[in-house]
Structure 1
Amino acid sequence: MGTARSEADFEAFYVASNRRLLGHVYAMVGDLAEAEDALQEAYARAWQRWGRVAAYEDPEAWVRTVAFRIAVSSWRRTANRLRAHRRGARPDMQPGTSPDHLALVAALRAIPADQRQAIVLHHLVGRTVDEIALETGAPTGTVKSRLARGRRALAGHVSEYADENEEAENYV
């Protein structure tokens, strides 16, 4: 009975979180197919460790972090392939994907991965600086720096951040 129960718990977790986490990972990775692959691998790893992962305070954070790390590892192994792919690729319209979302993902692609991760976790996922620090293993000061640098880097691409940076510069 224990195995059937844990299987049902995992299935409920997967169904409840898959769509949301795919949105998060897609925003961090910038490529829907890679986000899907990394997320599915992260779910497979979560299933293998479900007894431990289910006991975590935030199993979604564990899956999201693992998916992001899988994607980053994939980038490192296939850097040349990705460069060639990105030169000729244009974002595919997915059902429910707005042009604004695609523009945001394109802008996020232009900034370093650690800044992108902080921006997505804070602005799209709704995590606090302390929660991001806990999820990523980075000190809170580093998270704050990544957020500030990420906002500055996005300012030229996303008008929402340009307004924030202008206001911040007025106080300096």
Structure 2
Amino acid sequence: MDAQPEDSFNEFYRSSRQRVVTFLLAMTGDRAEAQDTAQEAYVRAWQRWSAVGGYDDPEAWVRTVAYRLSISRWRKARNRLVAHRLYGVREPVAPPDENTVALVAALKLLPEVDREAVTLHHLLDLSVADIARQTGTPANTIKARLVRGRNRLATLLGRDLSGEITHA
């Protein structure tokens, strides 16, 4: 990369960053927000420096972008607050029971392709044909993965396929 654009950007950044942050601090009242949005605006300026560097006032471009980023962040925060007020705090989720913990641990030990087939079929209730279509895998391969996955899970969970406990 030609050093000249990098040098001109570095000089621009050094000479303007304090003014941009000061402006944003005055507008937002939050130093961390001012610094974060200024940084993001300078990143965007660097990515477009071949164009932005040729503007009559690149600092105005950075200030505008940074201020718009601040407004966008403020709107997102406001929307989260409104949603919280409308819908309140979610009910706490109960911890998983011991069977769920054991099943998840056993699923983690399966090869990924077997785990995917078992999960899609038994937890999401997809047919073999649907799984084959979604994964781009032949239906017979999906069937084999299901058999292999179920057998391995049965072993890992200490059950035979009829659901009887095979060991304590």
TM score, norm. by length of structure 1: 0.45
Query: Higher Cα Rg: structure 1 or 2?
Result: 2
TM score, norm. by length of structure 2: 0.46
